[in-house]
Amino acid sequence: MDYLIGVRRASPHTVKAYKTDLLQFAAWAGRKDSPDGAFVMTTTVVSSYVLQLKQQGYSSATQARKIASIKALFKFCRSMEYAPFDFSDHLARPRVTSTLPKAVSVQLVQRIIEATAETREPYGSRDRAMLETLYATGLRVSELLGINIRDIDFEDRILRCYGKGNRERIVPIHDEAIFHLREYLTSTRTRLQKSNSSDALFLNRFGKRLSRQGFWLTIKRYSSAIGTTKTITPHTFRHSFATHMIEGGAPISYVQAMLGHRSVSTTEVYNHVANQYIREEFEAAQPRMASRV
């Protein structure tokens, strides 16, 4: 874990996931003791564990992550000469089924954002600022919640965030989001701030940085409030941002930079999403299509 944090500069989310996966593997492997009481790691033990993951019905994506954590562990052990060789070298990652990200309409996003007006202060102001910023920038949730006050430049309308691998990027932000961020900072954040509060931008009721779980519950509450049947998650805002930008004619390279993708091929999936989204909107609005339903 120290190596992941200090050398690989992995995100806290990745470190937590790898730790959970490796503790699960260690607990399983610990029950495979040899007759003399001494545990011996072998390629067979590793293969048996991976087979068990498949039999337990884990998705291909979850299997891939768990295998990745095991391969990272043994690669580290081999490099440090803790093991004679890499016991996971024979493992192949399962093919992960590619699914298109889900986007929702501009109108639905706006309804969710405007639902914050019904929430008592200071939470309504905080939530409005968070949702406006998320939809204005397409940030990942961890990036949004990791923002500190000093990371926002109100004059130039830009913010600094730290993505995967702790990579820094500068993201422009529009006037509407700037307005609500300023409102939150000047009028309501002080009501959440405690004497020991950090420089975190978005605080919870204890004056500490808002967690991913707390933000997820916030999204869920506003989705329920407007009565939508669609599943809305924090990532839905990121997907919708990218889809709406491409639909509006933004260059794919611009969207790539905003999302913090290393490869443009990762961003190109939103071309397909935007085309599908436009088709669905067309079929819903076209009178001749509607008459057939």
For this structure, is 16 an active site residue?
no
Instruction: Spot the catalytic one: 66, 180, 238, 244.
Output: 238
Rounded to the nearest angstrom, the gap between the alpha carbon of residue 263 and the centroid of all alpha carbons in its chain is: 17
Instruction: Spot the catalytic one: 65, 140, 180, 239.
Output: 140
Contact 266, 241 (CB under 8 A): no
Token match 């978005």: residue?
202
For this structure, is 54 an active site residue?
no
Contact 63, 52 (CB under 8 A): no
Token match 């068990």: residue?
52
Instruction: Spot the catalytic one: 164, 191, 208, 220.
Output: 164
Task: Compute the distance between CA of residue 173 and CA of residue 246 in angstroms, rounded to an integer.
Answer: 17
For this structure, is 220 an active site residue?
no
Task: Compute the distance between CA of residue 217 and CA of residue 110 in angstroms, rounded to an integer.
Answer: 18
Instruction: Spot the catalytic one: 18, 135, 270, 277.
Output: 270
For this structure, is 164 an active site residue?
yes
Q: Name residues whose C-beta falls within 8 Å of residue 258's C-beta, 6 or more positions apart in sequence.
A: 137, 138, 171, 241, 242, 245
Residues annotated as catalytic (active site), given as ranges: 140, 164, 235, 238, 261, 270
